[in-house]
Amino acid sequence: MFEKSLRLLTVHAHPDDEASKGASTIARYSAENAHSVLVCCTGGEAGDILNPALQNSETEENLPKVRAEELALSAKIIGYNQVVMLGYRDSGMPESEHNDNPEAFMNAPFDDAVGKLVAIIREEKPQVIVTYPDERKGYNHPDHLMVHDISLPAFEAAGDPEKYPDSGEPWQPSKLYETVWSRARIEGLHKKFLELGLESPYDESWFKRRSQDHRITTRIDISDWWEIRGQALRAHATQVDPDSPFWFGLPDEHARTVHPFDDYVLVRSLVGDIQDGVFEDDLFQDIRE
């Protein structure tokens, strides 16, 4: 057990994002008794039902409830101590009809959204926050962009007693990370598919989109918790096709060896500096006693 309470907060856009991004990292720290909180900004109402076995009217009519149940199961598998909903509606993909809904996350007054996140940070008191990168040239989902846009202002404001004075006692987190899928990881998976004579789900567009490897500062070894991501993804039965070649096409015994790391970019630190050419191997580096 840690000599001090270590607390981690992640900010995700939709139910299932917590499974596809950093799930094994959270499982690793959960096994070490760190307290982890998931902030989910929307209910995933605009997502498609991708599992053919669940494409029916009953699921469609109860989709928000179903997605909430899937999120609870996934969070339990991963090891989150708490799930907090930010309370907005899924904005849908760019230029979809969901963009026009006034309750959509992308239409939220900016200060209100930041203030809600500040209140959660002050309540939960994390030393480390994990959020999304700015992917306007990659996966530019409006809700993912909003997660990015509100996270740094909330990180800065949470410790300032003059900002959002009605949102609890100030608390200053120590580090802010962005979670990324590295090009090295995608290339490794692609090569392993081909090596095994399997059709790869990755094409050239994936490699063009993955251009942030030079920004990666932190590489977390998740080899002992690798299977957690797959288990959490399968918990999102409406969102994830269990026969998807993208998620599950590479046999587990091979997939786990390709890139057994979760990659992060440290974008704000109040406790230490990154050494050039040296990856951090711990999100709580310079915070542990």
Residues 180-197 have pLDDT tens digits of 988 899 999 999 999 999
pLDDT at 4: 61
For 195-231, give one letter per residue: b (16+ CB within 10 A) or e: eeeeebebeeebeeebebeeebbbbbebeebbebbbe
pLDDT score of 286: 94
The whole-angstrom distance between residue 139's C-alpha and the CA centroid of its chain comes to: 13
pTM recorded for the entire structure: 0.94
Nearest CA among 150, 148, 125 for reference residue 137: 148
Report the pLDDT value the prediction gives residue 138, as an integer from 0 to 100: 64
Compute the C-alpha angle 167/173/176, nearest 5°.
115
pLDDT tens-place string over residues 9-61 = 999 999 999 999 999 999 999 999 999 999 999 999 988 888 888 999 888 88
* CATH fold group of domain 7-182+213-249+260-269: Rossmann fold (3.40.50)
- The structural domains of the chain, with segments of one domain joined by +, span 7-182+213-249+260-269
What pLDDT sits at residue 253? Answer: 93
Range list of H helices, the chain? 17-20, 23-31, 57-61, 63-78, 110-124, 142-158, 183-195, 204-209, 227-235, 245-248, 252-258
Q: Is 161 exposed, middle or buried (0-12, 13-18, 19+ CB in 10 A)?
A: exposed
Output the pLDDT for position 177. 98
Alpha-carbon distance of 27 to 49, in angstroms, equals 27
* Helix or strand (DSSP H, E) at 218: strand 218-221
Q: Are 94 and 140 in contact (CB under 8 A)?
A: yes
Residues above pLDDT 90, as percent of the chain: 78
Q: Sheet with 218-221: list strands edge to edge.
A: 82-88, 35-42, 7-12, 128-131, 175-180, 261-269, 218-221
CA separation for the pair 162, 165 (Å, rounded):
6
How many Å apart are CA 217 and CA 266, to the nearest integer? 6
Q: pLDDT grade, residue 167 (50/70/90)?
A: very high
**Between 250 and 205, where is the model more confident?**
250
Q: Is 261 helix (H, G, I), strand (E, B) or coil?
A: strand
Q: At what angle do helices 110-124 and 142-158 cross, to 10 degrees?
A: 60
Banded model confidence at residue 274, pLDDT cuts 50, 70, 90 = confident
pLDDT at position 289 over 90: no
Residue among 3, 11, 286, 285 nearest 148 (CA): 11
- Average pLDDT on 111-116 reads 98
| pLDDT tens digits for range 137-155 | 667 899 999 999 999 999 9
How many Å apart are CA 86 and CA 42, to the nearest integer?
A: 7
pLDDT value at residue 211: 67
Q: If you average pLDDT over residues 221-236, what whole number do you get?
A: 96
Strand pairing category for 7-12 and 175-180: unpaired
Q: Is the pLDDT of residue 2 over 50?
A: no
